[in-house]
Chains A and B, each alone.
Chain A
Amino acid sequence: QKEVEQDPGPLSVPEGAIVSLNCTYSNSAFQYFMWYRQYSRKGPELLMYTYSSGNKEDGRFTAQVDKSSKYISLFIRDSQPSDSATYLCAMSVRISGGYNKLIFGAGTRLAVHP
């Protein structure tokens, strides 16, 4: 079983829809939770990060963490065609040596059609 599970999709939605992207994890030691967006033929770019259970909002994006269920979500409101990309969740855990190791999910491919 992978430490981080993410449905690869693809997910296809109409413009204006609310999108929900999800990841589950098994390691309770994960401390920080991130979402990256990757456009085709580009490197991933950091979208949001959070470290506590609850919601964090940034414009049309809301990151949600439920540590008791080991579940994180990214919600996109009023989705736009420009949101079409692959979304990767990532989780950080402190390992021996005092630094952080980042574990990525497989990524969910999202297509928003006009």
Chain B
Amino acid sequence: KAGVTQTPRYLIKTRGQQVTLSCSPISGHRSVSWYQQTPGQGLQFLFEYFSETQRNKGNFPGRFSGRQFSNSRSEMNVSTLELGDSALYLCASSHASGRGTDTQYFGPGTRLTVL
């Protein structure tokens, strides 16, 4: 079974621009979560989508948004980029069955650099 895929793997943008990142979850997984990882802050939760609905959100400004499509694929958008948005953006998928661990499986991430 194919793992979580993320595109693109690397991005370089300038301040003020916007960016869209894409995530394809493991087949059968209905939940997609997004995380921002930086050396200083570690892994920080952005939001989670389940069946095309955002059901959980972290403490990030409104510049960060996302959506999920009917095939469970998800996109994350960051508008008006700031230097501090440079990070590894990770997507994780899970069954979200509500039973057990709902273990999350991560993609390789998209490394965003804002100049």
Q: Decide if A46 is an interface residue (CB 8 Å cutoff).
A: yes
| Closest A residue, CB atoms, query B111 | A41
| Residue tally, chain B, CB below 8 Å to A | 25
Complex Cα gap A44–B92 (Å)? 9
Asked if residues A42 and B108 are in contact (CB atoms below 8 Å), the reply is yes
Asked, given contacts A88-B43, A99-B96, whether A45 binds B106 with beta carbons under 8 Å apart, the answer is yes
| Closest A residue, CB atoms, query B56 | A101
Q: Which B residues touch A102, using CB under 8 A?
A: 33, 45, 102, 104
CB distance from B49 to the nearest CB of A (A): 12
Asked if residues B50 and A49 are in contact (CB atoms below 8 Å), the reply is no
Asked, given contacts A88-B43, A97-B55, whether A46 binds B103 with beta carbons under 8 Å apart, the answer is yes
Complex Cα gap A71–B93 (Å)? 27
- The tally of CB-CB contacts under 8 A between chains A and B is 57
Asked if residues B42 and A100 are in contact (CB atoms below 8 Å), the reply is no
Interface residues in A40-69 by Cβ distance below 8 A to B read: 41-46, 49, 51
| Residue tally, chain A, CB below 8 Å to B | 24
| Closest A residue, CB atoms, query B42 | A106
Asked, given contacts A43-B107, A46-B105, A92-B101, whether A99 binds B55 with beta carbons under 8 Å apart, the answer is yes
Asked if residues A44 and B90 are in contact (CB atoms below 8 Å), the reply is yes
Asked if residues B109 and A104 are in contact (CB atoms below 8 Å), the reply is no
Complex Cα gap A49–B90 (Å)? 20
CB distance from A38 to the nearest CB of B (A): 8
Asked if residues B43 and A107 are in contact (CB atoms below 8 Å), the reply is yes
Complex Cα gap A106–B101 (Å)? 20
Asked if residues A98 and B98 are in contact (CB atoms below 8 Å), the reply is yes
Chain B interface (Cβ < 8 Å from any Cβ of A): 4, 31, 33, 35, 42-43, 45, 50, 55-56, 90, 92, 96, 98, 100-109, 111
